[in-house]
Amino acid sequence: MLLLDERILPDGTHARTHASVDADRVRIIDDDGTSGQLSIAALDKVMTRYGRELEAEIPLDGEVLEMAGGYRLRRLRYHAVVDAEGRDYLVWERPQGEPLAVVGTMVAAALRYLVLRLGDERPSGI
């Protein structure tokens, strides 16, 4: 399981969003009760939409989630010169193409939204 994001809720409690792999699906699990599965293709769409190429001098280290098809999602702590302190990024490693990086909070919010949206569209009982 890979930690995607940690945030403070309005009531002061902490909530975390995690991802895990179940065959060819990515399960998104949030402490607020949000849970669901997305395809690797859906995750790829989100990461390619919001991601920017990772600068070559930034080492690829940190926890990683291995997926089918040679995809990897990595959590990377990085302190850019323009930031007062380090941030958590999610890096999408693809079989074709350069690694893409996005601020973890932004991606986790998009993935939580997709899971909630897809859950609303499924018929009850499924």
> Measured between alpha carbons, how far is residue 103 from residues 30, 54, 124 in Å?
18, 12, 34
Q: Do residues 107 and 90 touch, judged by C-beta distance below 8 A?
A: yes
Confidence of residue 123 (pLDDT cuts 50, 70, 90): very low
pLDDT in tens, 16-42: 999 999 988 999 999 988 899 999 999
pLDDT digits (tens, 9 = 90+) for 42-57: 999 999 999 999 888 8
Q: Is 37 helix (H, G, I), strand (E, B) or coil?
A: strand
Angstrom distance (rounded) from CA 19 to CA 26: 7
3-state secondary structure of 85: coil
| pTM recorded for the entire structure | 0.84
| Helix boundaries (H) for 6-103 | 40-50
Each domain of the chain, given as residue ranges in start order, spans: 2-121
